[in-house]
Amino acid sequence: MPGFELFGAEERKEVNDVLETGILMRYGFDGPRKGIWKAQELEKAITETFGCQYAQLTSSGTAALTTAMVALGIGAGDEVIMPAFTFVASFEAVLSVGAIPVLVDVDDTLTLNPIAVKNAVTPKTKCVMPVHMCGSMADLDALAAICKEHNLILLEDACQSIGGTYKGKALGTIGHAGTFSFDFVKMITCAEGGVVMTNDKEVYTKSDGYTDHGHDHLGVDRGADLHPFIGYNYRISELHAAVGLAQIKKLSTFLELQKKNNKALRAYLEQVPEISFRRVPEGGEDSCSFLSWFLPTAEQTQSVVAEMKEQGILAGNFYWFANNWHYISKWDHLKNATTLSRISDEQEAALTKLKSTVFAESDAIMSRCISTAISLVWTEDQIHEKGTRMVAAINKVLGK
């Protein structure tokens, strides 16, 4: 799954280009940097690779989500519909702009259930934010139709789905804006980083300024830039961008290996009739960073997790239902509105309401789901051993 598995001379070369100039900041110092502009190069490579018109790099995927929301005009009191299965950064970004996260059920795609989304729309709804978890996508046609009907923004959190596509378009480029994360365990890593992608020039221009204290970046002297609005420091460094530049050049290789290894491991699990797999919406192509599979009951799934742990083969297998970072059932800090500084009364009320909100459909799905991370460097022998031992543990629990 993660690009860091295949670090090599390419990353060292790009980083050394920066180190030799000593200019680690992405803006300014035009003379000393000797023509080395890694962030600009990476942004151009992103637009060319994923087919969007504009790309603005940020310091993290969380910063990218925050920036995208601000650039799209999402702010105080606006409701953002999002899934109950995601990473905590998704709701952190919503809260950071003063908006209200409205969590709804997922379906067997492990992403937003369009019916749940439609039922959650209110006069305060501003945005629908699908989170394309574990490499695959939400039903974007259905969500786009809801957004069109209610004049809502479609913002794709594609941080976990680099390389996935929907009807020929790269995930993250289909909505009004989309984001990737380039943290250490993502398909392409910068160590830390993210990007806002859009086909809307105004959204890009606002993102460009917002990530650098509101600088308009229109002059040749950054120190003389005007500030048409207030911004923050969400800049990526040249060192981080350099790593990402090497990684994106290897993306096709990463995806080829990932899909091959995913298919090979799946062949073992397909030997167990009781196992089913996540649904990929029609027209979608999974990036295959995870192999997500279901057992018939929550009790069987929990027993399989316990058995794999007992046998020492649980590593790389994620039971999200009991995971502290990814599912609503474990987000007590969210439901208790536990923050270090005061949030709005409206936000606090919305969060505490989550304590009594039932996510029965999501629970029924997530309690039966295990996702296996796919390594880029597995050998055939390692896949055989992993698949054989996993199937044996599953069959033991199933009484076979």
Together in a domain, 116 and 134: yes
Sheet with strand 290-294: strands edge to edge: 276-277, 290-294, 369-373, 317-318
Instruction: State the catalytic residue, choosing from 186, 206, 335, 386.
Output: 186
The answer to whether the beta carbons of residues 351 and 335 sit under 8 Å apart is yes
Transcribe 180-191 into DSSP letters: EE-BTTSSS--B
In this predicted model, what pLDDT tens digit does every residue of 163-202 receive, in sequence order? 999 999 999 999 999 999 999 999 999 999 999 999 999 9
Determine the distance from the C-alpha atom of residue 106 to the mean position of all C-alpha atoms in its chain, rounded to a whole number.
16
In this predicted model, what pLDDT tens digit does every residue of 52-101 receive, in sequence order? 999 999 999 999 999 999 999 999 999 999 999 999 999 999 999 999 99
pLDDT recorded at residue 2: 79
pLDDT recorded at residue 400: 84
* Tokens representing residue 279 in the block: 């649904």
pLDDT recorded at residue 93: 98
Taking the C-alpha atoms of residue 229 and residue 243, their distance in angstroms, rounded to an integer, is 31
Look at residues 250, 282, 308 and tell me which one is the last residue of a structural domain: 250
Together in a domain, 296 and 318: yes
Together in a domain, 22 and 171: yes
Together in a domain, 231 and 148: yes
Together in a domain, 327 and 179: no
Together in a domain, 226 and 92: yes
Q: Which one, of 397, 324, 306, lies nearest residue 88 by Cα?
A: 324
According to DSSP, the residues that pair with 100 across neighbouring strands are 79
* Tokens representing residue 36 in the block: 């080395």
Catalytic: 167? Answer: no
Q: What is the CATH number of the domain that holds 384?
A: 3.90.1150.10
Domain containing 326 equals 252-398
Taking the C-alpha atoms of residue 97 and residue 77, their distance in angstroms, rounded to an integer, is 9
Environment class of 259 (CB within 10 Å of its CB; exposed 0-12, middle 13-18, buried 19+):
middle
Q: Measuring CA to CA, how many Å separate 111 from each of 103, 105, 281, 373?
A: 12, 8, 10, 17
Taking the C-alpha atoms of residue 288 and residue 267, their distance in angstroms, rounded to an integer, is 14
Q: Measuring CA to CA, how many Å separate 303 from each of 156, 275, 295, 308, 363?
A: 35, 14, 10, 9, 17
The residue written with tokens 């629908």 in the block is 128
pLDDT at 334 over 90: yes
Q: What is the CATH number of the domain that holds 58?
A: 3.40.640.10
